[in-house]
Amino acid sequence: MIPRYTRPEMGKIWSDENKFRCWLQVEVAASLTLAEAGLVPPEAAQAIARKGDFDLRRIHDIETEVKHDVIAFTTAVAEKIGPEARWLHYGLTSNDVVDTAQALQIKEASRILMENFLSKFKTCRQQRKRPI
């Protein structure tokens, strides 16, 4: 996104920080769901949910080396989680995480667009009701 053409609240949604936060939401939700299904140890899923975090700079450093954004992300998150991280990303593809997280970002952006649209629409309706 080009900063000078981007509203701050929209820029935050499409920032790397928020993108990776959405990826983490997907990873946590998948781990907890797989634990409920008996495919991931519940204590591992809880550890992923509780300890899952990342350092943005660390992700970028790893990506420079491995040339793969999701591997860089999962590696950085695994460093924060510890041994239970072996269950992080279990049963998922990169596209599962990226596409689902992008849907979360689109939902956030759509909310802002809808709020702005409704505000402008309300203003136009009010102006139209005034006598000329």
24-75 tens-digit pLDDT: 999 999 999 999 999 999 999 999 999 999 999 999 999 999 999 999 999 9
pLDDT exceeds cutoff 70 at 116:
yes
* pLDDT tier at 94, thresholds 50, 70, 90: very high
The least confident of 12-16, 68-72, 112-116, 128-132 is 128-132
How confident is the model at residue 120, as a pLDDT? 86
Distance CA 117, CA 124 (A): 10
Contact between 28 and 52 (Cβ < 8 Å): yes
